[in-house]
Amino acid sequence: MAVEADYYELLECERTADDGTIKSSYRRLAMRWHPDKNPGDAEAEHRFKAISEAYECLKDPQKRAAYDRFGHEAFKQGMSGGGGPGGMGGGFSDIGDIFETIFGSAFGGGGRQQARRGADLRYDLEIGLDEAFHGKAAQIEIEVAAKCEPCDGSGSEPGTGTRRCNLCGGHGQVRAQQGFFMVERTCPTCHGRGEVIEKPCRSCRGEGRVDQPQTLDVNIPPGVDTGTRIRLAGKGEAGPFGAPPGDLYIFIHIRRHGVFERDGTNLVTRVPITFTTAALGGTIDIPGLDGKSIPLDIPAGIQTGKQLRKRGEGMPVLQGRGRGDLVAEIMVETPTRLSARQKELLQQLQETETGDECPQSKGFFDRIKEAFKA
């Protein structure tokens, strides 16, 4: 099982980013994670290699176009198909499929075709942010074309076999004259196998595959994010007539959390505090995804919009060490319901104000006076 990080996420860029933005982001990250600046740090070396690989792909227009369409599978044998949430779809099993889809088999070589591996499939799995934090062992249920057991994928009724195709003479190709050219095409009777089934299997009707429900175990590692892909080798669609199966790709989607938003490995939350806490300072506790309370020190005089950072209290690094940060954005809340005593105390406070307590407010009104001076 392998997890592949998204190139755009590695470079901290949107998928619509232009070449200049991608280049600038790569330079910034390369400076940060270069092994020379992080001697002995295996995680930094891993990060540097990953962002370099991502940049090598995205800086090339053709490679980027292929990656945008097929993801990592554009550079491997087999390209995964698409599907809606919770669904699956097949794709090209190799580059020959693409060539034949575009040009047909007129330019292909002669001889019997070999059975191709089954198609890769996609499954979209939604999990909570806390599950992404801890990781989990999940089970998924899918219906997939699996090898027919009674005929062992051959498509023939048990006890029977195949015979040579009469139309192509066992070659898998037939020739036809078109003007001055002799064109060779896949045999329409045996579909390139060179053989035909004498008696089709009653279970699969000669297909060698039947749709079957399957329950699969998926190990989701800590730190996954929306777009993370988990590969289950050999769990895709069965190949025709006993050929090897394709792979199944699990695409992760993270549900919206009630408290935290995710920014890479960082967790971001907005924290409302009373105006007295903002003025006097104090300490508040924030519940973390690991079940522990995270103390947050509030400095006196803090303003709305100020961000406080707690190092190492964010999401785990996928397939790495350490955690990101917790970023708390402060929102100073003005009270809307006051008792008579509270109003009295506030009025006493107001009577003692000189204007120096709130320098931003004082500066603003000083600028107004200066602007409208006669």
Q: Where are the domains of the chain?
A: 1-76, 77-254, 256-336, 342-374
Q: What is the token pair recorded at 186?
A: 């896949």
Q: What CATH number should be reported for the domain whose range is 256-336? A: 2.60.260.20
**pLDDT given at position 16:** 86
* Residue 126 host element (H or E): strand 121-127
The angle formed by the CA atoms of residues 121, 122 and 127, to the nearest 5 degrees, is 150
The half-sphere exposure of 31 on its side-chain side, counting CA atoms within 13 A, is 5
**pLDDT given at position 81:** 39
161, with CB counted inside 10 A (0-12, 13-18, 19+), is exposed
Q: What CATH number should be reported for the domain whose range is 77-254? A: 2.10.230.10
Q: By C-alpha distance, which of 25, 117, 41 is closest to 78?
A: 117
**pLDDT given at position 131:** 95
| Residue list, annotated binding site for Zn(2+) | 148, 151, 165, 168, 187, 190, 201, 204
**pLDDT given at position 3:** 59
**pLDDT given at position 107:** 40
Cβ 225 vs Cβ 314: under 8 Å: no
**Regions of the chain with pLDDT less than 70:** 1-3, 76-115, 179-180, 362, 374
Owner of token pair 């989607």: 253
What is 1-76's CATH number, 1.10.287.110, 1.10.1040.10, 3.40.50.20, 3.40.50.300? 1.10.287.110
H helices within the chain, ranges in order? 7-10, 19-33, 42-58, 61-70, 95-103, 129-134, 275-280, 340-352, 359-371
What is the Rg, in whole angstroms, of the alpha carbon atoms belonging to the chain?
Answer: 32
Q: What is the pLDDT of residues 206-215, one digit of tens each?
A: 888 888 899 9
CB count within 10 Å of CB 162 equals: 17
**pLDDT given at position 244:** 87
**pLDDT given at position 30:** 87
